[in-house]
């Protein structure tokens, strides 16, 4: 037996191999699920003394794509992370905010079902409440084309995490228009874990996302990336690069969103995903599922304060 075979056997024994659920499609290893996907969240049932009673809503941007193809060709079964979506939604509901669900063209929202906290009744209940909206979301493309210019319906854009947030959203030009419109109209942007990958779309419109000083297709200079100079927290690149070693991912990721954001002038202020949150102007961020409770609470409180 060679060294690689010995290592593979050890990984099998420790449950460190990503689990193949069907041909070529993988979910995290048993060991990494125990570490990263507990059966109960840290949601704390915060009550808000003066819930919102106005007509401003939150626009939640979700992915409609399920599989990330790794460098080795294996597919990771992903989507939006249920904790990073549902725990903030619990806070928004308690704080009085209605949330509209959007995907790029109105296709159903994909959710990392393997990360669903099965012993958390609060999360399961809000997930059931949102199931119709997740299955039949609104279309970003339609909203941008038909309603955005005259809309005053929203106070915030919310982008939950999960590796699925890196699929489709960062290269969606209509989402880029939505984010720039939100910025121009002083909306909050709430992004957690891998959700900040979607912010890259705000730098589209003919620009190379890795070279923000280039010109657009017509040769005209573009304004700076709207989040240039901002600080935030997010799921760190250094941890994503380690995930294949514990079988959370079935191989090396095709790209890393943190590197691209940093190339555009964003400072990612954390090295670990330990439950940190951060606010810079109207950008509120969280570093991963451990941050979902505080991220939801901070976002709800800041919205309530701004809309008094």
Known catalytic residues?
193
What's phi and psi for 60, nearest 5 deg? Answer: -95, 125
Nearest residue to 165 via CA among 100, 86, 85: 85
Strand-by-strand arrangement of the 57-61 sheet: 138-139, 99-103, 57-61, 154-159, 188-192, 283-286, 277-280
Q: How many CA atoms lie within 13 A of 304 on its CB side?
A: 20
Q: Are 306 and 54 in contact (CB under 8 A)?
A: no
User: Cα–Cα distances in Å, from 221 out to 128, 213, 214, 217?
Assistant: 47, 8, 7, 10
Element (H, E) at 203: none
Nearest residue to 194 via CA among 279, 287, 109, 121: 287
Helix axes 292-306, 82-94, angle to 10 degrees: 40
Q: Are 192 and 286 in contact (CB under 8 A)?
A: yes
User: Cα–Cα distances in Å, from 237 out to 46, 73, 162, 233, 260?
Assistant: 32, 20, 14, 11, 10
For 23, other C-beta atoms within 10 Å of its C-beta total 6
């Amino acid at each position: 037996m060679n060294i690689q075979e010995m290592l593979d056997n050890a990984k099998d024994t420790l449950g460190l191999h990503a689990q193949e659920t069907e041909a070529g499609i993988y979910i995290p290893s048993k060991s990494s699920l125990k570490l990263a996907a507990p059966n109960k969240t840290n949601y704390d049932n915060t009550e808000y003394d003066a819930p919102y009673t106005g007509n401003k809503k939150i626009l939640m941007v979700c992915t409609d794509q399920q599989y990330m193809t790794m460098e080795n060709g294996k597919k990771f079964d992903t989507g939006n992370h249920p904790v990073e979506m549902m725990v903030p939604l619990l806070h928004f509901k308690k704080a009085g905010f209605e949330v509209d669900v959007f995907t790029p063209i109105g296709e159903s929202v994909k959710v990392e079902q393997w990360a669903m906290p099965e012993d958390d009744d609060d999360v399961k209940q809000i997930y059931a409440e949102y199931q119709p909206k997740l299955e039949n979301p609104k279309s970003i493309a339609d909203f941008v084309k038909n309603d955005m210019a005259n809309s005053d319906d929203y106070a915030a854009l919310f982008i939950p995490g999960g590796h699925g947030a890196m699929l489709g959203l960062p290269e969606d030009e209509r989402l880029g228009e939505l984010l720039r419109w939100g910025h121009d109209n002083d909306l909050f942007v709430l992004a957690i874990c891998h959700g900040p990958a979607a912010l890259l779309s705000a730098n589209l419109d003919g620009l190379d996302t890795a070279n923000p000083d280039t010109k657009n297709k017509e040769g005209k200079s573009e304004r700076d990336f709207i989040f240039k100079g901002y600080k935030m927290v997010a799921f760190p690149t250094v941890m994503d690069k380690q995930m294949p070693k514990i079988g959370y991912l079935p191989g090396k990721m095709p790209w890393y969103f943190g590197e691209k954001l940093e190339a555009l002038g964003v400072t990612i202020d954390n090295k670990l995903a330990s439950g940190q949150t951060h606010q810079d102007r109207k950008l509120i961020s969280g570093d991963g599922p451990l941050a979902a409770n505080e991220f939801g609470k901070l976002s709800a409180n800041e919205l309530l304060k701004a809309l008094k």
